[in-house]
């Protein structure tokens, strides 16, 4: 059970949060211009890394804000947490 | 039997408080403070159970939670019965009953004992190898295997006890209240750390409180004397919470630990009622100090499992702590000095110790000299090669060990005895440590796994950290405390320790016998009857990974998780395969450390709290009017209102007819309602719904369909424009929370530039949906001053009005195809509104209807229900709802996916109507649809999603999804059922009032 440092509320138990998959996948601004393959790349293709992974999380049972997390999936260590729109920390 | 083996009064046993209890139907006596195990031993009862596979008689081996053999059923045949309980952990109380498990008809005469004589035929993997063929026989095999397996019986009636959960946040959690834990907790609390100290036992102090070795002194006192004073001082320390009878079950990441606090298990039945039995503590600690101690290892030799063979440390605890002698002719078998302390403990109480068998060549420690002075015979370099005694040990045979320890020589000496204490050294209890994700390393010299790489803020102190001697314990504890708590001094700085110097040990994982291994039974896992030869067999058959050997031989897979024998299993594998133990690694230590009851895990979430439910403000009326309810998401919704003993079918037919012929009323309060405001609200709706919203006039309503980005229908509902920048969106009942979440996600992450604010107002409003040709007249009676003409208040529009003083929002929208109004009022007025409608509708026989009738009425109109007629794989085009998908809008969620090659396939499953050729047959929802009956395998074209008997059309109607269904209008298909094939025809999904004339009737 992680202890997650919500950038708006502080440290809270994992059960207050919802994981939202890979981060930094921007919705295409002009979807109609894309080929089926390009759209599928956005729609379906997600990484599943053993190691450092960038993820979206939502404080669903708290402030309901979305934010980003850098997590090492091999040992679940949370390396960094930053707000939506902010640049990911340098590796 | 029934001898009294009580040897000396102990301060932990209250001999003025005599307690009677039953074991296997026979009454015994013990004292307050006894465990079931100590009380049985005091009555000279050693035989307490039968082993799992061979049904060999087994006795009490230990004095703690690591017990593999003495597992019993507590209070059998009551609603408080509990299986697989360790007799060593049960505190006795007046009226306690316990019985042996895994034996029939009794522990004294167990028919399964024949397995012991058949054991040559039950090697490792016996079941895997034997019951393989013929494969079809497995079901028959399984019946017998299941009956012969199984430890204990689960209760058959509901649990009368209350359980609880508690969250605890602390600076420092100390697990284990032995000497290290007590000193750690004391110093943490004194330095202003909010500290919690837990221990699984009922008394603090661990093994040190009965440690009376005169050669080990702390500040010139024996360690037990000294520690008792320290314990006394704990009471006056602030910031320190102490919980006894509290066992840490799991240590998760981020210092999150679960512990079970036992509150009433030691009380008599009359004192248990209306109290919390067990509490699950959910502990989040900034720092964790593990002081879980060490477990004594047995020695692995031929027939090492007979009742009367115990751990040497357990014999000492029974003697010193409980005042019980485990036997009258005691022998010890050891590879280190521990057994000598136990022997002296017995000797000092006048209990006979016949001999000590030591596999070492010698030891020079003071305690050994003391034993020699006491005249106890010591056999150096000897090993036990066999034991006798079926239900109780009665002799051992020993022989001289060869220098390399792999064989025995010379002549056999037989020693008669009724109790044998084995001492194989100590294994640090690192279970919790590894559960936290931290890594171990193997110490080749000490032959133990030690904490190595911590993953969270934690330290392991005392013997679980590898320190066994009191001077090392205190010195290392002191340094670790200073480092982890960042303090300069502790009260350990001034402690003076004297110790007995010798610390030699000779480690042999599997002791030799004069017989070949195949003819011996050296048990490694007592509970699962896995022997050293099973492990060697597994290696011969090619198993190498410790995880595989474990599963093949079942070593370490019992309820005790192999706390005693796992190290020996590893050692034997390493020796046999010629690898280093450190390279072999360990099997995974999984939570819980000791079993938890289901009650503790579930806590208060039982009965009506099992799953929370929501009721509408009108609920009381439905209950008073005998509605049947159904669960929709977490909501309890009125399903139908049977009168005069109607069946569901009869009630729904009546309600459906009434709604179309005169007037019906539905509680629609559960629909999700999201208040949307902001200057970009219209743009936002444009992006989330498939149709266009910019031109919707204020005061008008529009139906919207929401897709996922993959183009599949996600939710639907009517949204009303209340003002220039203000909308109220309705969602499906079950989808409300997810829709809000999805909208928030897009607003926060993809379109943060939009000025839009979302508020869930589902619970703020109660909604009565009034429908039918007389609905207008009823509403007129309630709100006489509201102009209900089609010109002023047309279909798909909205009015604010007042009913008396109550403000209400009225939408003229319809899910039934009838002229209808949805009246929303503040939730607290919901029942009042409903009753006003019922009163006004009386002259029109207004009929309350439930969700089932609502479903039927909308199916007559071919309206979909998201989640019933869709399943996350249906696009609006599949649903024949092309009309709602804007061609003009540049983008909306899911738009691009509607033009993917896969979503544009002609042969996708599409929503159609189905009519049965026989209008009286109602199809089963979910039944399959085919076009050919004689195909093999038959091709499935789709399935029925909604099906009803329509009273208004007087025939059966159904909605279905059928591959390529759009092009099949009028085609004959079949619905094959178990006993018959039903002929159906594909039809228009709108069955009733295709031209929507009734909306304005």
pLDDT tens readout for residues A1-58: 899 999 999 999 999 999 999 999 999 999 999 999 999 999 999 999 999 999 999 9
Tens of pLDDT, residues B438-482: 889 999 889 999 999 888 899 999 999 999 999 999 999 999 999
Please spell the DSSP secondary structure of B286-340, one letter per residue. EEEEE---EEE-----TTTTSTTEEEHHHHHHHHHTS-B-S-SSEEEEESSTHHH
Instruction: Assess contact for B286 and B172: CB atoms under 8 A.
Output: yes
Residue A1 to residue A11: CA distance in whole angstroms: 12
CATH class of B298-422: alpha beta
Cα(B203)–Cα(B228) distance, integer angstroms = 11
- pLDDT value at B268 more than 70: yes
Check B744 against A85: CB less than 8 A apart.
no
Q: Does the beta-carbon distance from B895 to A34 stay under 8 Å? A: no
Nearest to A75 among B255, B455, B748 (CB): B455
Distance between CA atoms of residues A76 and B255, nearest Å: 13
Residues A34, B896: C-beta atoms closer than 8 Å? yes
For position B586, what pLDDT does the model report?
82
Q: Which residue in the set A13, A31, A43 is minimally distant from B891, CB to CB?
A: A31
Cα–Cα distance measured from residue A69 to residue A79, given in angstroms and rounded to the nearest whole number: 8
**Are A58 and B896 in contact (CB < 8 Å)?**
no
- Closest residue in A to B456 (Cα) is A77
Question: What distance in Å separates residue B759's CA from the closest CA in chain A?
Answer: 12
Q: Would you call B253 an interface residue with chain A, using a CB distance cutoff of 8 Å? A: yes
pLDDT at B179: 96
Strand duo B217-218 + B497-498: pairing: antiparallel
Element (H, E) at B779: helix B775-782
The total of structural domains in chain A comes to: 1
Structure tokens at B237: 């320390």
- Contacts of B508 by beta carbon, 8 Å cutoff, 6+ apart: B335, B359, B383, B405
Distance from CA of A84 to the nearest CA of B (A): 7
Least confident of B579-593, B664-678, B883-897: B579-593
**CATH architecture of the domain with residue range B892-1000:** Beta Barrel (2.40)
Minimum CA–CA partner of A35 in chain B:
B900
- The tokens describing B307, both together, are 């009742």
Q: Chains A, B: CB contacts under 8 A, how many?
A: 56
Closest alpha carbon within chain A to B256: A1
- Alpha carbons B739 and B742: distance in angstroms, whole number: 5
Distance from CA of A34 to the nearest CA of B (A): 8
Give the rounded distance of the alpha carbon of B453 from its chain centre.
28
Contact B254 A85 (CB under 8 A): no
Q: Are B591 and B577 in contact (CB under 8 A)?
A: no
Residue of B nearest to A74 (CA): B437
Strands B458-460 and B672-677 turn out to be unpaired
Residues 126-185 of B with CB under 8 A from A: none
- Give A74→chain B minimum CA distance, Å: 11
Return all residues near A10 (Cβ < 8 A) that are at least 6 apart. none
Q: How far apart are CA B693 and CA B691, in angstroms?
A: 7
Residue B558 pLDDT class (50, 70, 90 cuts): confident
- C-alpha–C-alpha distance, residues B343 and B349, integer Å: 10
Look at residues B930, B924, B912 and name the one whose alpha carbon lies nearest to residue B874.
B912
Could you report the per-residue pLDDT of B479-525, keeping only the tens digit for each? Answer: 999 999 999 999 999 999 998 866 788 999 999 999 999 999 999 99
Two domains, one topology: B162-294+428-498 and B608-891: no
Percent of chain B past pLDDT 70, that is, above it, reads: 95
Q: Is the pLDDT at B659 greater than 90, yes or no? A: yes
Q: Is A86 helix (H, G, I), strand (E, B) or coil?
A: coil
Paired tokens of B986: 């594909």
The answer to whether B74 touches B96, Cβ cutoff 8 Å, is yes
Alpha-carbon gap, residue A27 to A6, rounded angstroms: 24
Q: Is the pLDDT of residue B294 over 50?
A: yes
Q: Summarize pLDDT for B739-766 with one digit per residue, the tens.
A: 999 999 999 999 999 999 999 999 999 9
**A42, part of any domain:** yes
Please write the tens of the pLDDT for every residue from B483-492: 999 999 999 9
Report domain extents, chain B.
162-294+428-498, 298-422, 522-590, 608-891, 892-1000
B979 shares contact with chain A (CB less than 8 Å)? no
pLDDT exceeds 50 at position B1? no
Q: How far apart are CA B908 and CA B873, in angstroms?
A: 10
Please tell me which residue, B136 or B577, carries the higher pLDDT value. B577
Q: What is the pLDDT of residues B681-703, one digit of tens each?
A: 999 999 999 999 999 999 999 99
Q: Which of A28, A64, A75 sits opposite B437 (nearest CB)?
A: A75
pLDDT at B129: 66
* Residue-number span of the structural domain to which A47 is assigned: 3-83
Q: How far is A55 from chain B (nearest CA, A)?
A: 13
Residue from A8, A23, A25, A27 to probe the interface with B (highest B Cβ count within 10 Å): A27
Task: Give the CATH number of the domain where residue A9 resides.
Answer: 3.30.2270.10
* A89 within domain boundaries: no
B357, containing H or E segment: strand B353-358
Give start and end residues of each alpha helix (H) in B580-647.
Answer: 581-584, 598-602, 619-624
Domain B522-590: give its CATH code.
1.10.10
CATH 2.60.40.10 fits B162-294+428-498, yes or no: no
pLDDT tens digits for B785-796?
999 999 999 999
Q: Is the pLDDT of residue B882 over 50?
A: yes
What is the reported pLDDT for B458?
Answer: 96
Average of per-residue pLDDT across B581-600: 88
CA distance linking residue B850 with residue B669, whole number of Å: 12
**B residues 258..287 contacting A (CB < 8 A):** 284
Q: Do residues B298 and B565 touch, judged by C-beta distance below 8 A?
A: yes
B437 contact residues in A (CB cutoff 8 A) = 75-76
DSSP secondary structure, B891-915, as one string: --TTTGGGGSTTTT-TTSEEEEEEE
Interchain proximity B254–A56, CB inside 8 Å? no
The answer to whether residue A27 sits within a structural domain is yes
Cα B899-B905-B906 angle, rounded to 5 deg: 125
Q: Is the pLDDT of residue B263 over 80?
A: yes
Classify residue A70: in a domain, yes or no: yes
Strand B276-290 relative to strand B458-460, pairing: parallel
Residue A91 lies in a domain: no
B757 reaches A (C-beta below 8 A): no
Interface test with A, best of B251, B254, B738 (most A CBs within 10 A): B254
Per DSSP, B406 falls in state S
In the numeric block, the tokens 């597992």 are attached to: B71
Residue A88 lies in a domain: no
**Shortest CA gap A79–chain B (Å):** 13
- Give DSSP secondary structure letters for B930-976: BS-SS-SSPPP-EEEEEEEEETTTTEEEEEEEEETGGGGTT-EEEEE
Q: Chain A: nearest CA to B736, how far in angstroms? A: 14
CATH architecture of the domain with residue range B608-891: 2-Layer Sandwich (3.30)
**pLDDT at res. B750:** 96
Q: Which helix (H) or strand (E) holds B710?
A: none
| DSSP run (H or E) holding A72 | strand A66-72
The pLDDT value recorded for residue B502 is 67
Measured distance CA(B929)–CA(B521) in Å, rounded: 63
């Amino acid at each position: 059970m992680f202890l997650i440092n919500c950038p708006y509320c502080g440290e809270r138990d994992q059960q207050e949060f919802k994981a939202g998959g890979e981060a930094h996948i921007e919705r295409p601004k002009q979807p109609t211009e894309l080929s089926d393959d390009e759209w599928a790349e956005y729609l379906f293709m997600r990484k599943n890394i053993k190691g450092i992974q960038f993820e979206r999380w939502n404080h669903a049972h708290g402030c309901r804000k979305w934010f980003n997390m850098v997590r090492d999936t091999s040992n679940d260590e949370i390396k960094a947490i930053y707000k939506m729109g902010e640049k990911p920390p340098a590796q | 039997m029934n001898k009294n083996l009580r040897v000396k009064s102990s301060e932990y046993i209250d001999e003025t408080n005599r307690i009677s209890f039953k074991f296997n139907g026979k009454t015994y006596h013990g004292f307050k403070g006894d465990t079931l195990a100590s009380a049985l031993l005091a009555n000279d009862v050693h035989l307490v159970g039968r082993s799992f596979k061979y049904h060999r008689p087994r006795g009490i081996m230990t004095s703690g939670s690591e017990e593999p053999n003495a597992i019993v059923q507590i209070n059998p045949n009551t609603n408080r019965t509990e299986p697989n309980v360790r007799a060593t952990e049960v505190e006795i109380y007046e009226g306690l009953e316990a019985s042996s498990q895994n034996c029939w008809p009794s522990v004294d005469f167990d028919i399964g004992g024949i397995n012991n004589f058949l054991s040559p035929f039950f090697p490792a993997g016996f079941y895997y190898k034997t019951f393989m063929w013929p494969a079809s026989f497995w079901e028959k095999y399984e019946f017998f295997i299941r009956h012969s397996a199984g430890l204990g019986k689960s209760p058959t009636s509901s649990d009368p006890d209350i359980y609880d959960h508690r969250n605890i946040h602390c600076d420092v959690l100390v697990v284990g209240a032995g000497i290290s834990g007590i000193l750690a907790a004391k110093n943490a609390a004194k330095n202003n750390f909010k500290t919690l100290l837990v221990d699984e036992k009922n008394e603090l102090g661990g093994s040190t409180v009965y440690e009376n070795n005169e050669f080990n002194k702390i500040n010139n006192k024996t360690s037990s004397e000294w520690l008792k004073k320290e314990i006394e001082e704990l009471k006056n320390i602030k910031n320190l919470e102490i919980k006894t009878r509290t066992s840490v079950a799991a240590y998760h990441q981020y210092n999150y630990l679960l512990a079970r606090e036992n509150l009433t298990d030691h009380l008599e039945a009359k004192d248990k009622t209306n109290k919390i039995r067990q509490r699950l503590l959910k502990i989040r600690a900034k720092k964790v100090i593990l002081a879980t101690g060490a477990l004594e290892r047995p020695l692995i030799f031929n027939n090492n499992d007979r009742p009367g063979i115990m751990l040497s440390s357990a014999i000492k605890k029974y003697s010193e702590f409980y005042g019980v002698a485990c036997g009258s002719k005691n022998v010890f078998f050891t590879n280190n000095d521990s057994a000598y302390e136990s022997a002296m403990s017995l000797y000092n109480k006048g209990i006979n110790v016949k001999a000590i068998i030591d596999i070492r060549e010698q030891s020079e420690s003071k305690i050994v000299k003391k034993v020699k002075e006491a005249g106890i015979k010591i056999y150096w370099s000897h090993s036990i090669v066999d034991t006798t005694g079926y239900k109780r040990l009665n002799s051992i045979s020993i022989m001289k060990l060869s220098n390399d320890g792999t064989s025995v020589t010379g002549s056999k000496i037989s020693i008669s005895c009724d109790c044998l204490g084995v001492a194989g050294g100590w294994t640090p209890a690192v279970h919790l440590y590894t559960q936290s994700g931290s890594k171990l390393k193997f110490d080749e010299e000490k032959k133990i796994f030690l904490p190595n790489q911590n993953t969270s803020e934690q330290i392991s102190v005392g013997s679980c950290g590898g320190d066994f001697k009191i001077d090392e314990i205190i010195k290392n504890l002191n340094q670790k405390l200073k480092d982890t708590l960042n303090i300069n001094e502790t009260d350990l700085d001034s402690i003076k320790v004297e110790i007995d110097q010798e610390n030699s040990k000779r480690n042999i994982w599997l002791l030799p016998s004069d017989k070949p291994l195949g003819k011996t039974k050296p048990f490694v896992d007592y509970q699962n009857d896995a022997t050293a030869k099973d492990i060697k067999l597994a290696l011969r058959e090619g198993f190498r990974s410790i995880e595989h050997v474990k599963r093949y031989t079942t070593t370490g897979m019992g309820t005790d998780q192999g706390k005693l024998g796992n190290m020996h299993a590893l050692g034997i594998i390493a020796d046999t395969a010629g690898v280093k133990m450190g390279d072999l690694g360990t099997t995974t230590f999984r939570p819980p450390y000791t079993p938890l009851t289901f009650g503790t895990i579930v806590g208060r979430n039982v009965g009506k709290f099992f799953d929370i439910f929501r009721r509408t403000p009108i609920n009381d009326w439905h209950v008073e009017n005998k509605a049947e309810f159904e669960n929709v998401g977490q909501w309890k919704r009125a399903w139908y209102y049977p009168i005069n003993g109607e069946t569901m079918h009869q009630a729904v037919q009546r309600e459906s007819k009434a709604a179309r012929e005169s007037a019906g009323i539905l509680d629609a309060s559960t629909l999700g309602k999201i208040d949307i405001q902001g200057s970009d609200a219209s743009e936002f709706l444009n992006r989330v719904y498939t149709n266009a919203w910019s031109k919707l006039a204020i005061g008008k309503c529009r139906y919207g369909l929401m897709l996922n980005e993959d183009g599949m229908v996600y939710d639907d509902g009517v949204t009303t424009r209340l003002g220039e920048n203000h909308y109220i969106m309705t969602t499906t009942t079950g989808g409300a929370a997810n829709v809000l979440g999805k909208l928030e996600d897009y607003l926060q992450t993809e379109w943060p530039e939009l000025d839009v604010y979302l508020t869930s107002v589902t619970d703020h409003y109660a909604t009565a949906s009034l429908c039918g040709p007389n609905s207008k007249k009823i509403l007129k009676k309630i709100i006489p001053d509201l102009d209900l003409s089609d010109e002023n208040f047309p279909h798909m529009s909205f009015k604010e009005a007042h009913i008396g003083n109550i403000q209400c929002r009225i939408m003229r929208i319809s899910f039934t195809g009838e002229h209808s109004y949805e009246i929303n009022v503040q939730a607290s007025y919901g029942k009042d509104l409903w009753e006003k409608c019922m009163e006004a509708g009386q002259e029109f026989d207004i009929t309350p209807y439930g969700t089932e009738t609502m479903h039927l009425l909308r199916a007559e109109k071919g309206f979909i229900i998201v989640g019933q007629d869709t399943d996350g794989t249906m696009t609006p085009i599949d649903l024949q709802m092309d009309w709602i998908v804007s061609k003009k809008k540049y983008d909306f969620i899911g738009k691009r996916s509607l033009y993917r090659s896969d979503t544009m396939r002609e042969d996708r499953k599409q929503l159609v109507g189905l009519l049965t050729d026989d209008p009286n047959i109602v199809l089963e929802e979910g039944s399959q649809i085919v076009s050919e009956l004689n195909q093999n395998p038959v091709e499935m074209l789709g399935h029925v999603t909604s099906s009803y008997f329509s009273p208004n059309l007087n025939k059966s109607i159904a909605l279905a999804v059928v591959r390529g269904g759009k092009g099949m209008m009028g085609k004959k298909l079949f619905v094959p059922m178990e006993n018959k094939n039903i002929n159906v025809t594909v039809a228009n999904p709108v069955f009733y009032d295709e031209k929507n004339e009734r909306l304005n009737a």
